[in-house]
A and B are shown apart, each in its own frame.
Chain A
Amino acid sequence: MSLLPCNPVGELSSHGNGHQARIHSRSRFFSTGQKVAVEKRGLLSKRYNSSNALAFPRQVVQYGSFISRPANYFAAMTKTTNKEPGTLPIRTQALSSKSLSSFITPEIANMNFFNRILLAWKILFPKTILVRGDSNAKIARQRLKMVLFSDRCSVSDLAKKKILENVVKTLSEFVDIESKDKVELNVSTDSDIGTLYSVTIPVRRVKPAYQESDENYKGQIVGIEYKDAGEKTGAVDVTFDFYVPNDK
Chain B
Amino acid sequence: MPSLVLPTAYFSTKLSHRHHSTIPSATHSRRPHLAGDPPRTVVITSGKGGVGKTTATANLSASLARLGFRVTSIDADAGLRNLDLLLGLENRIHYTASEVFSGECRLDQALVRDRRFNNLRLLCLSKPRSKLPLSFGSKTITYLVDALKTLEPLNPVQFILIDCPAGVDAGFVTAIAPADEAILVTTPDITALRDADRVAGLLECDGIKDIKIIVNRVRADLVRGEDMMSPLDVQEMLGLPLLGAIPEDAEVIRSTNRGSPLVLNDPPAPAGIAFEQAAWRLVEGDTMTAVALEEADRPAKKGFGWFSFFGL
| Interface residues in chain A, defined as those with a beta carbon under 8 Å from any beta carbon in chain B | 118, 121-122, 125, 127, 130, 132, 135-138, 140-141, 143-145, 147-148, 151-152
B197 and A151 contact, CB distance less than 8 A? yes
Q: Does A137 lie within 8 Å of B310, measured CB to CB?
A: no
A98 to B226, CA, bound (A): 48
**Distance (Å) between the CB of A6 and the closest chain B CB?**
20
The distance from the CB of A139 to the nearest CB of chain B, in whole angstroms, is 9
Taking a contact as CB atoms under 8 Å apart, the answer to whether A141 and B197 are in contact is: no
Question: Which chain B residue has the least Cβ–Cβ distance from A122?
Answer: B311
A144 and B194 contact, CB distance less than 8 A? yes
A144-B227 contact given A121-B310, A122-B311, CB 8 Å threshold: no
Asked if B7 is an interface residue, CB under 8 A from chain A, the answer is no
CB distance from B78 to the nearest CB of A (A): 28
A27 to B190, CA, bound (A): 47
Report yes or no: B233 in contact with A147, Cβ–Cβ below 8 A: no
When A125-B311, A127-B311, A148-B237 are in contact, do A137 and B193 touch as well, CB less than 8 Å? no
Seed contacts A137-B223, A147-B194, A151-B194; 13 additional CB < 8 Å A-B pairs: A118-B309, A127-B311, A130-B226, A135-B226, A137-B230, A137-B233, A140-B190, A143-B190, A144-B193, A144-B229, A145-B237, A148-B194, A148-B237
In contact, B201 and A138 (Cβ under 8 angstroms): no
Residues of B within 8 A of A136 (CB): 226-228
Expressed in whole angstroms, the minimum distance between the Cβ of B168 and any Cβ of chain A is: 13
Asked if B108 is at the interface (CB within 8 A of a chain A CB), the reply is: no
Within 72-115 of B, Cβ neighbours of A (below 8 Å) are at: none
Which residues of A are found within 8 Å of B309, using beta-carbon distances? 118
| Residues of chain B with a CB closer than 8 A to A118's CB | 309-311
B180 contacts A by Cβ under 8 Å = no
A141 lies within 8 A of B227 (CB): no
In chain A, what residue has the closest Cβ to B309? A118
B197 near A137 (CB under 8 angstroms)?
no
A144 engages B237 (CB within 8 Å): yes
**A141 B194 Cβ-Cβ under 8 A:** no
Q: Which residues of B contact A (CB under 8 A)?
A: 189-190, 193-194, 197-198, 201, 223, 226-230, 233, 237, 309-311
Interface of A is mostly: helix
Contact of B197 among A122, A135, A140, A148 (CB under 8 A): A148
CA distance A147 to B189 in the complex (A): 13
Task: Name the A residues within 8 Å of B229 (CB-CB).
Answer: 137, 140-141, 144
- Bound together, the chains give a CA A85 to CA B197 distance in angstroms of 78
Which of chain A's residues has its CB closest to B238's CB?
A: A148
Q: Closest 5 interchain pairs by CB?
A: A135-B226, A136-B227, A137-B226, A121-B310, A127-B311
A117 to chain B, nearest CB (A): 9
Q: How far is the CB of B81 from chain A (nearest CB, A)?
A: 31
- Report chain B residues within 8 Å CB of A152: 197, 201
How far is B237's CA from A148's CA once the two chains are assembled, in angstroms? 8
Query: From A147, which residue of chain B is reached at the shortest CB distance?
Result: B194
List residues of chain A with CB within 8 A of the CB of B194: 144, 147-148, 151
Asked whether, in the complex, the Cβ of A125 is within 8 Å of the Cβ of B198, the reply is: no
Among A141, A145, A152, find the residue whose CB has the most chain B CB atoms closer than 10 A: A141
Partner of A125, one of B193, B226, B310: B310
Q: Which residues of A contact B311 (CB under 8 A)?
A: 118, 121-122, 125, 127
Whether B226 lies near A138 (C-beta < 8 A) is yes
For residue A115, give the distance in angstroms from its CB to the closest CB of chain B. Answer: 10
Chain A: minimal CB distance from B37 (Å): 32
A residues in contact with B233, CB < 8 Å: 137, 141
Is the pair B226, A141 in contact by a Cβ cutoff of 8 Å?
no
Q: Inside 8 A of A125's CB, which chain B residues have their CB?
A: 310-311
- Whole-angstrom distance from the CB of A133 to the nearest CB of chain B? 11
16 intermolecular pairs with C-beta atoms under 8 Å apart: A118-B309, A118-B310, A118-B311, A121-B310, A121-B311, A125-B311, A137-B228, A137-B233, A140-B189, A140-B190, A141-B229, A141-B237, A144-B190, A147-B194, A151-B194, A151-B198
Residues of chain A with a CB closer than 8 A to B189's CB: 140
Give the shortest distance, in Å, between B143 (CB) and chain A (any CB). 34
Give the complex CA separation of A147 and B193 in angstroms. 10
Q: Which residue of A lies closest to B233 (CB)?
A: A141
CA distance A152 to B239 in the complex (A): 13
> Which of B198, B201, B227 sits near A137, CB closer than 8 Å?
B227
Q: How far is the CB of A169 from chain B (nearest CB, A)?
A: 30
Contacts of B190 in A (CB 8 A): 140, 143-144, 147
**C-alpha gap A44/B278 in the complex (Å):** 71
Distance of A8 from chain B, by nearest CB (Å):
21
A145 to B227, CA, bound (A): 17
For A126, the closest partner residue in chain B by CB is B311
